[in-house]
Amino acid sequence: MDLGRTLPPDVTDGLLDELVAFKARLDALLSVATDGMAVIDVDGTIARWNPAAATISGVSADRAVGSGLADIVASGAALDRAPIDGTPLAQTWTFGPAGRAPVRAQIVAIARDGVADGWLVSFGAQRRYDEIEQLKNELVGSISHELKTPLATIKAYAETLRDHALSPEEAHDYLDVVDEQADRLGRAIDDLLLVSRVEAGQLLKRREMLALDDVLDAALAAIAYDREAHPLVRETVGVEVSGDPDLLRDALAQVIDNAAKFSRAGEEVHVRAESRQDRCLVAIADRGIGIADEHLPYIFDRFYRADRALDSVSDGSGLGLFIASALVRAHGGTIEVRSETGRGSTFTLTFPVRG
């Protein structure tokens, strides 16, 4: 550094202090980053290689720093393709030895006077990008299925109503179906909106003391619970819960809807609640088809459906329990399931009474 000749010593000392502090912060940042980060000099020499870069590539910082990038990255690296205006460029890099998974690198050129003066690279495992891509595809597939099915029914029924001379009774029945399918469409859209709120971590906005009975009534109304098909046995009087009334309603609605959906007509659904010290416990039990052991660990996962064959007999996207568990966790609660194939399932939700 040649600052001493042109600037008074007190200024250079101040600048040096600032530089040292800046470098310490940069070092700290690079060491906590979970993505691999590298700084490459204009001649292609690696100047910085953070710990995540070492883990992901299998090349230690000692070996990487001072080496040419071409000696470390076996294939895929072409830094000079990165635009000079600083727009990131994505490339897939492979490190030797063969067999190590490729990484997805984002390269940004550091420009000085309109020419590249080095590059900043961040990279993560390709698998993560693949997973995100797959998740996106699943979501799009699930959205189109969930929205298209009721839409197609509504359209077909509306056309029949328009094109055929139906008796008033028949027309009434057709309009009932249209109404039902419009509700289903509305619920699918609500679910999808909830999922995006779950992803964004913006769930719980308010918390108040609520009578569980009221929350349960709202949940039953939201799913248009059919008491004739599934007699409801409830023991919920006097129990209180604290939380957001809409979100608690949605959590109970998802679980109760499943209890009915996966039981034969005539089978009861039990909802029992009790206050235990500072927790409120709600158990929702059905005597339906149950869930096999091998599926139990996954049923709260996004898009998971225990039996793909169900797709043809019951509507559902595999989002219900994912949403329910996110809502319960947002309240500081827990959700668990016990189940036996052919005998039924019990979902137990607990909530802290005071958040």
By CB under 6 A, name the binding residues for ligand ADP.
Answer: 254, 258-259, 262, 286, 288-291, 299, 304-307, 310, 316-322, 345
State which residue, 125 or 310, has the beta carbon closest to ligand ADP.
310
Give me the phi and psi of 105, to 5 degrees please. -105, 140
CB of residue 231 to ligand ADP, shortest distance in Å: 16
State which residue, 150 or 318, has the beta carbon closest to ligand ADP.
318
Cβ-count burial of 147 within 10 angstroms (0-12 exposed, 13-18 middle, 19+ buried)? middle
**Biggest alpha carbon distance in the chain?**
100
CB of residue 335 to ligand ADP, shortest distance in Å: 11
State which residue, 118 or 320, has the beta carbon closest to ligand ADP.
320
Residue 318 · residue 255 · CB < 8 Å: no
State which residue, 49 or 262, has the beta carbon closest to ligand ADP.
262
State which residue, 94 or 317, has the beta carbon closest to ligand ADP.
317
State which residue, 73 or 256, has the beta carbon closest to ligand ADP.
256
Start-to-end Cα distance in the chain: 57
CB of residue 176 to ligand ADP, shortest distance in Å: 23
CB of residue 211 to ligand ADP, shortest distance in Å: 25
CB of residue 348 to ligand ADP, shortest distance in Å: 12
Residue 119's nearest CA partner among 104, 107, 106 is 107
Rounded distance between C-alpha atoms, residue 200 and residue 198, angstroms:
5
Q: What is the 3-state secondary structure (H, E, C) of 262-309?
A: CCCCCCCEEEEEEEECCEEEEEEEECCCCCCCCCHHHCCCCCCCCCCC
CB of residue 183 to ligand ADP, shortest distance in Å: 16
Residue 228 · residue 199 · CB < 8 Å: no
Q: What is the CA radius of gyration of the chain?
A: 29
